Amino acid sequence: MQLAAATGEIDLKYLDESGFCMWSEPSYTYYFKGEQKRLEQTKRRGRRLSIIGFLQPLISFVYGLVIGGVDRK
């Protein structure tokens, strides 16, 4: 496919999508020796942030941000 794109036979584009949660728990905590680590989750976690990007090497890069999930609509 990359060879066909290099010769101009096709337009090769790459697509990638990733999602992030805007709520994060503490990265580290301290506990006394022998005690079990316990993290309480808050009821409100925030919304999910999704990013989708299209790359056509040496030509263009287009991306979009979506609050919530990305679906086929």
Residue 4 maps to a domain = no
pLDDT of residue 52: 92
Residue 19 maps to a domain = yes
Tell me how long the chain is: 73
User: Comparing C-alpha atoms, which of 46, 42, 43, 41 is closest to residue 20?
Assistant: 46
pTM of the predicted structure, to 2 decimals: 0.54
Q: Structurally, how many domains does the chain consist of?
A: 1
Residue 36 maps to a domain = no
Instruction: Report the alpha-carbon angle 68-20-39, nearest 5.
Output: 110
13-50 pLDDT, tens digit per residue, is 999 999 887 665 555 666 777 777 666 666 666 678 88
Strand order, beta sheet including 60-67: 14-21, 48-56, 60-67
Q: CA Rg, the chain, in Å?
A: 21
Q: What is the domain range of residue 63?
A: 13-24+45-73
